[in-house]
Structures are given as structure tokens and as C-alpha cells.
Amino acid sequence: MSALPCLAAASIAVAVPPQFQRNKDGAATDGQSVVQAPSPRREVIAIIPDRTTGRDWGLRYLAEAVDDFNREKPAAVFCVGDLVQGYSRDHEVVRRERDDFLEIVERLRMPFYPTPGNHDLVSGKRDSGDRSFADDYRARFGPLYYSVELDLASFVILNTEDGDGQISPGFSDAQLAWLDRTLQKLAMRGKPMILLFHRPLWDHKPTRWDERVQPILVRHGVDYVIAGHYHALQALPPRDGIPYLLLGTCGGAADQHPLAGQLQHTTYLVIDESGSIEPYHQIAGTTLPVDWITKEDQDRAYKLKGDKDAVTIRGALADPLGTPSEGSIEVVLSNPLDRPIEWSFSPARAPAPWLVDDRDPRGQPIERAWTSRTGIDTFNPNTTDLASPLQLEFPTEPVVVAPGERATVRVAVRADAQAAPPLPAPFDVIARYEDSKLRKVPILFRERVPLARRIDLGDSLAAAAEYPIAVWQWSEYDTAEANAQARFAQGASGAVLEVALMVPDVRISGDAKPRDTKSSLDDPLGDAVRLVLGEGAEAREYLVTLEGDGAEGPVAPRIRALAADGKTLVATEAVAAVFTKSSAAWSLQLSVRADALPAGARLADLPVNLGVADNDETFHTQWRWLAPRDIPARLRIGG
């Protein structure tokens, strides 16, 4: 793009990216003022689909739609009929239903224009000549057919229960004559014309649509035809260039999946001054008030989720490698909030959609509800390890913990004898508390059952068993690669211990700026391996970083030890490393000399832990470990 003159202000048209002022080098100049050109005038119209046979539960969706409209502020709200259940012989029943509908719709802060449907007009007596319900509709709602002139469009509302002047499907000759005259007058405005009615009478043979109705629409240039009744959303092929649209429901009965067109929704028409009409649909009840989440409520969520003592685990299950194992762990639940927390447990499983439901537990109406894919979108099967053979037995009832209190829950765990080192079992702990709007807020903690690992040292690495390296602290930044696998064997040629790692990794990252501080130990800038020998104050820790430019060139291992000051890393020859890589993995073989062990330590029963960090050229580096830090594995010689 050529450089633009540096002016105090610029008027720009729609462009991606905008045509900002630029200097002679092509860089956008800072501090410029941009004046956007005026947009065309437009008018937004909302439409409510069918509410029957939704009965009283359907009123929820209507109320949610009204909340949506009051936030989005369309110029007007229309409907396509069937406002009540109707079809009753009892006028009082229908009047109560009309009252329920009107009590909600009267909350609208813009005009509402109704359309009659068969449920609004038809008598429960099955008498096509009984117009008493239609008369009541006219008294409470308005005319059975009429037109509305808005700023940028004209709407015509028709009565589809007007067959030969009776309460039966169809258009009477009188109504069609009125339609012809009305469209002729409205066409003179030069604005788009939209028809709204209930039944899709183009599918009703006695109406003779193509003979009696379609020619009128074509003659006067109708721009859109919209109906309801079928409870299934569908866009139909245009007829003579006129788009046809059927709406679904907003509180009406629907018994199939939304992808079959059956969904609780509202419809919007965006009409601009050029005459274009752009319809779209919105799930009912998905706008949110500005105070849907307050700082007070968010602070509670962060306080609970960020409390490292909220969920802690004591104990471990004996490793079931080669022999059955049975025991229990203790889960300690702490409440840092100012209100009770209800704790429950479940096995970790592939997630289903989360229901977001603003239900007031004291029985007030639900304001809105929808499903969230957050759990599905963020689920990482390579870190959650659902294939664990461990079997867990959780409490069957929720555990309620008062503010500032703790509770200890025992979880029974068992496992059959395993031929290979098993994955530690993940499980979910869910905390629920009541927020300032009386809603139950769920906070998820994902935990694992610690295993008291016994690492059988092989006579050689080739003969040693493979142990999985797993995620113990979950993060949304965890990469999607499968777990690394580690083998342990007694050393040879001057080494007392050999470790072999195979790490699935589609993007190998080197550290171009290694740091000799503990920050590199915790958060290296590239892929790395951390070996911990011993535990407590006597432990020795070693960091192997892959240094170089990763995917763009070679990387080589560099080994450093954590110095006695616990703050710096120093070069060491006590551990040696051999690194190899392929297109989707890398491997590392470590040779550990006796002087790498804690002073006086023996290889047999030596606590050991092994971490693998994946960076993928990002700001965040994620660790997976052989065992939790407070329960390291222990080496075993001779099985």
C-alpha cells in the first residue's frame, strides 16, 4: 500500500485492514485520528415464532425473548401467531392464557404487532361458525388482518383462519381483495414489503395459492413472505424471486434436534435504506444483562479456584503393577468463601455440553438457559487419560462445608493386577455455591489418584517397562501430544542409572536464551527434562534443556544442576545426555553417575521423579511428571 499524506484526520471507507495513514516506509503512523464515513440508515425488526403447544413452560422462552428485545432494541416486534394454547370450549381458560401472554409482552419497550393463529381463534367446540374466540382476540389484541408502515419497510399481517369467512384455513375473497388494494398503496412508498401470517397456506390446496395469491404478490413486488405453524425453522426456495421463510418456536412444542429445525428462537430482519433485507435467527434468551456477572461474584469464583488448599489429597494407592491393589485416599475440602459450598465427586469422563441455567433455587422463574461447549472445546484426552484401570468409589451424597471449615472425604480405590505400569486415574471434584443472584455456581477441580510408584529397574533399557509421564496440574495451555514414556535401568560403563525418554512432539522447541537461574528450572523457554533424585532438602535436581533454534535447525542438550543455594543452575558432568529427534517425537537417554545421587543415598529405594516440559515455541511451557512432587516414585532393584 502506498504511503498516505500525514493529515490531522482521515475519512476511511470500509476496508480490512483500514487504510490508515502511513509513513514513507509503509508503517502506520501513531496518534492519527480516523473519521469513519456515515453508515446507511437501517431498521431492525424482531419476530416471535409459535408458542403452542408449549403450555405454561413455554412462557419462559417468551419472557427470555422479551428480555432480548429490550436489550437489542429493534424498532418493532411482530409475531407469526399461536400466542396461546387455546382450542378450549372455556372462554375463561383462554382469557387466562391471553393474560399470561400479554403480561409478558407488555414489558416490551417498543411496539408489538400481533398476528392471529389457529390456536388464537379456533373454538374448542369444533364449530367453524363460532367466532366468539376471534371476537375476544380482536378485543384484546387487535384486527385479524392489517398493515403497518415503518420508516424503512411496510408489513402486512394476514389471517390464515379466514376460509370463506369462516374459522377454517384459507383466505377469503374479501381479505385477498383488501390485500390487493393494500399492496398497491404500500408499493407507492417505495419501501420493502413483508407479509406475515400463521399457516403456510402455499401448502394448502384449497387456498389455490398459485392461482389466487401468488399473482398478487408478484404484481405488487412483495419482498418477503414469512409464516409459522409447522414448529420447524426452514428457508424455502424463492417463488418468482420472492424468498419464503418458515419460523420455528419461541415456547412452542418441539420434539426433535435443533438441526432438524426445531429450536426456541427469535428472528430478526435488518432492513437498510437501500431496500435490502437480511434475516437472521437468535436462540431465545441468549442476551445477558450487564450485571449478569458482578465483580463480587467473580471474586468468589477466583478465590475458590485459586485457593491451593481448596482441594488437597492425602495418601496414595500402592502401584498395581503385577499385583492387585486396594486402598483409599483422603480428599480434604476447604471452604475459603463467605457461604456454604456443596462438594460432589465424579469420574473424569469425556465432557457433554454444560447447561447454563439461571434457575433460582427458591422457585422463581428461570430467566434464561442455554448450553455451553466450553468443556468439550477445552477437553484434552491426552492429558486427562480416561483409560486408567483404577476404579474409584465416591460419596453418593454431596458434602456441605461451612464457610472457613474443612471436611475430609475418603475415596476407595482399587485396581486389578496390571501387566504394564498403569495411568493414574483422574477424577473431578465439583464445588457449588450460591452467588448474589441465588444461582448455583459450579467450579471444577480436576485431580488424580496418586500412585506409590515402584520403578522396576531393568537389566537394560530395552528390557525395562515403560512408565507414563502424566499431567498433574491441568492447564488450558497443555499441548495436545500424547504422554511421554520413560524407561529405567541399572547403569553400565560408569553409570549407576540409565533413563530413556520417548516424547511425542510435533514441534520441537529449542531454548535460544538459556538462563542459569531457578526460573529456567520452573519455566524454561524450550522443551526440557527435569530429573529429581531423592526428596526433601537432600534432593538433587538436574535440568536438561534443548538449546538451539528448534524447528529451524539443530538442537543439543545442555545439562545443569540446581546449586546448593537453590537459586542458580551450574554445569555438571554427573549426568550425561544423548538426544535424537524425528518428525513427530524426540528421545533422550540419560546416564547418571553415582556422584549425582544425594550424599549417602543408595540406588535401591531411591525416590525419583521425572518431568517433561513442552514449549511449542510459545510463551507458556507445560510440564508433565512421573509422579506428584510430594509422592515421588521409588526405584526397585530385582523386581
Residue 229: name the closest of 115, 64, 93 by CA. 115
The one-letter code for the residue type at 573 is: E
Q: Give me the phi and psi of 180, to 5 degrees please.
A: -60, -45
Task: Encode pLDDT of 212-239 as tens digits.
Answer: 999 999 999 999 999 999 999 999 999 9
Alpha-carbon torsion angle 559, 563, 566, 567, nearest 10: -70
What pLDDT, on the 0 to 100 scale, is given for residue 11?
45
C-alpha cell at 279: 434475516
What pLDDT, on the 0 to 100 scale, is given for residue 241?
97
Q: Is the pLDDT of residue 13 over 60?
A: no
Question: Mean of the pLDDT values across residues 431-460?
Answer: 93
Task: Encode pLDDT of 194-218 as tens digits.
Answer: 999 999 999 999 999 999 999 999 9
Task: Encode pLDDT of 70-97 as tens digits.
Answer: 999 999 999 999 999 999 999 999 999 9
What pLDDT, on the 0 to 100 scale, is given for residue 367?
62
- The Cα–Cα gap between 520 and 492 comes to 30
Q: pTM of the prediction?
A: 0.84
Task: Encode pLDDT of 595-634 as tens digits.
Answer: 999 999 999 999 999 999 999 888 888 999 999 989 999 9
Task: Encode pLDDT of 341-357 as tens digits.
Answer: 999 999 998 888 888 87
What pLDDT, on the 0 to 100 scale, is given for residue 9?
43
> Is residue 175 a contact partner of residue 207, using CB atoms and an 8 Å limit?
no
Total Cβ atoms within 10 A of residue 577:
19
Contacts of 100 (CB under 8 A, 6+ apart): 56, 59, 84
Q: What is the CA radius of gyration of the chain?
A: 35
**CA 270 vs CA 105, 138, 220, 609: distances in Å:** 22, 29, 22, 62
Query: For the chain, how are helix, strand and coil distributed in percent, rounded to 5?
Result: 20, 35, 45
Q: Where are the domains of the chain?
A: 1-38, 46-283, 295-451, 454-637
Measured over the CA atoms of residue 592, residue 596, residue 601 and residue 607, the dihedral's sign is: negative
Q: Note whether 46-283 and 454-637 share their fold.
A: no
What pLDDT, on the 0 to 100 scale, is given for residue 1?
35
Fold classified for 295-451: Immunoglobulin-like (2.60.40)
CATH 2.60.40.1190 fits 454-637, yes or no: yes
C-alpha cell at 70: 429490550
Name the CATH architecture for the domain at 46-283: 4-Layer Sandwich (3.60)
Q: Residue 171, CB half-sphere, CA atoms under 13 Å: how many?
A: 29
CA 34 to chain CA centroid, nearest Å = 36
Q: Give me the phi and psi of 206, to 5 degrees please.
A: -60, -20
Contacts of 284 (CB under 8 A, 6+ apart): 61, 64, 65, 68, 250, 251, 264, 265, 266
Q: Is the pLDDT of residue 69 over 90?
A: yes
At 15, the pLDDT band (50, 70, 90 cuts) reads low
**CA 589 vs CA 363, 510, 598: distances in Å:** 63, 17, 21
Three-state DSSP string of 549-613: CHHHCCEEEEEEEECCCCCEEEECCCEEEEEEECCCEEEEEEEECHHHCCCCCCCCCCEEEEEEE
At 155, the pLDDT band (50, 70, 90 cuts) reads very high
